[in-house]
Amino acid sequence: MNKIISILLLLVTTSASGQTKTPEEFGFRHIVLNYKADNVDILIKSKKGEENVPKPLFFFCQGSLPLPLIKYHEKDIYGVFPFNPDSLSIKYHLVIVSKPCIPVLADYTTLSPSFNYIDSSGKFPKGYSDRNLLSYYVPRNIAVLKYLQKQKWVTITQLVVAGHSEGSTVAAKMAADYKKITHLIYAGGNPLGRIMSIIGHSRESETNTDSTRFGEDELKYWEAVVKNKSDMDGSQGDTHRATFEFSQPPIKYLEKLKIPVLVSYGTKDWSAPFNDFMRVDFIRHGKNNFTFQPYVGTEHNFFPVTADNKPNYDIFNWDIVAYDWLKWTNQK
């Protein structure tokens, strides 16, 4: 079983007309870039009619799991981004990149109940598991940025990289490694690494000391990961190497950044205390290039939490979050 929660499954559906088979039919430009013999699918969302108007890029790193970017069935589609991109597309060309060895689009009736793309045995494709690594995503995404910044419809005065959940770690490492990134949005991340999110999530489910020692089980899992940190067996979900790489504390390179950084998180997310810790620590050290924006009473995907500690999926806050991102980029 995968060890980290996906960033989405509940998104507003929209409508598309006709037989939908290509990204262009959903209003995206589709570019295929070759990277280390892999075909990388890039989708660009621009304001309609302004596809060739020079604008800066807004590069979004999605969360975990092998999800096709476009999930559709007949006339219904699920949003490619977890937010409506219209407000951001006024100022930016939005970019999102597919997961490795996962088709860019798929009829969601052919996917798992969690919308994962799985093979005939019900497991994640080996090609995906072999590449589902921080050390793969970061240089691949930087290669995409370098290619796109050469295009006539891209301006280089500003380059925003945003990431949510697993994508926050990818985005943070990209900002550390690629100096042309001018703004970083770090959303729903854990600055002390993935394993702390795994443990924190399991601790929430504990009710007694005898039969629900879930956090202790996760610590044993971490011991096994460290002991076999190069293990690439993905038959049970993430490989040990993936967990080890994503568990290296991003705070180690976040604290070195000089560019403007926005940290967005829900205060009911299991990672919230670690973002609060980073905020306290950065105040202590006088780092004034970080802006912290907590969404009080919301969980990992910014849904409000009910009295019985469950997400209220009737209140969708992602579009508010995206608009706050736009306001922040305008100010910074």
**Domain end (from 211, 232, 247):** 247
> Would you say residue 106 lies in a domain?
yes
pLDDT at 13: 46
Q: Which has the higher per-residue pLDDT, 73 or 46? A: 46
Residues 175 and 293 in one domain: yes
> Would you say residue 146 lies in a domain?
yes
Q: How many domains does the chain have?
A: 2
User: Which of these, 27, 89, 23, 98, lies nearest to 58 by C-alpha position?
Assistant: 89
> Would you say residue 6 lies in a domain?
no
pLDDT at 77: 84
Question: Do residues 26 and 128 lie in contact, with contact meaning Cβ atoms separated by under 8 Å?
Answer: no
Q: For residue range 56-91, what is the model confidence (pLDDT) as tens digits? A: 999 999 999 999 999 988 778 888 999 999 999 999
Q: For residue range 279-289, what is the model confidence (pLDDT) as tens digits? A: 999 999 999 99
Residues 55 and 203 in one domain: no
Q: Which residue has the tokens 């860019």?
A: 104
pLDDT at 7: 39
Residues 214 and 159 in one domain: no
The mean pLDDT of the chain is: 92
Give the mean model confidence (pLDDT) for residues 27-35. 96
Label each residue of the chain as H, E or C.
CCCCCCCCCCCCEEECCCCCCCHHHHCCEEEEEEECCEEEEEEEECCCCCCCCCEEEEEEECCCCCCCCEEEECCEEECCCCCCCHHHHCCCEEEEECCCCCCCEEEHHHCCCCCCCCCCCCCCCHHHHHHCCHHHHHHHHHHHHHHHCCCCCEEEEEEEEEEECHHHHHHHHHHHHCCCCCEEEEECCCCCCHHHHHHHHHHHCCCCCCCCCHHHHHHHHHHHHHHCCCCCCCCCCCCHHHHHHHCCCCHHHHCCCCCCEEEEEECCCCCHHHHHHHHHHHHHCCCCCEEEEEECCECCCCCEECCCCCECCCCCCHHHHHHHHHHHHHHC
Residues 26 and 154 in one domain: yes
> Would you say residue 1 lies in a domain?
no
Give the mean model confidence (pLDDT) for residues 190-209. 88
For residue 6, name the pLDDT band (cuts at 50, 70, 90): very low
pLDDT at 201: 86
> Would you say residue 9 lies in a domain?
no
Give the mean model confidence (pLDDT) for residues 142-167. 97
Burial class (CB in 10 A: 0-12, 13-18, 19+), 195: buried
pLDDT at position 93 over 50: yes
**Domain end (from 247, 271, 288):** 247
Residue 204 lies in domain: 194-247
Residues 139 and 223 in one domain: no
Residues 124 and 235 in one domain: no
Residues 224 and 258 in one domain: no
For residue 1, name the pLDDT band (cuts at 50, 70, 90): very low
Residues 39 and 128 in one domain: yes
Q: For residue range 214-270, what is the model confidence (pLDDT) as tens digits? A: 889 999 999 999 999 999 999 888 999 999 999 999 999 999 999 999 999 999 999
Residues 242 and 277 in one domain: no
pLDDT at 4: 34
Residue 310's CATH number = 3.40.50.1820
Pairing of strands 76-78, 290-295: unpaired
Residues 237 and 94 in one domain: no
Which token pair is 54?
Answer: 């020079």
pLDDT at 309: 86
> Would you say residue 4 lies in a domain?
no
- What is d(CA 4, CA 243) in angstroms, rounded to the nearest whole number? 9
Sequence-separated contacts (24+) of 50-53 with Cβ below 8 Å: 50/89, 51/153, 52/152, 52/153, 53/153
> Would you say residue 3 lies in a domain?
no
Residues 235 and 255 in one domain: no
> Would you say residue 239 lies in a domain?
yes
Residues 123 and 201 in one domain: no
**Domain end (from 183, 212, 247):** 247
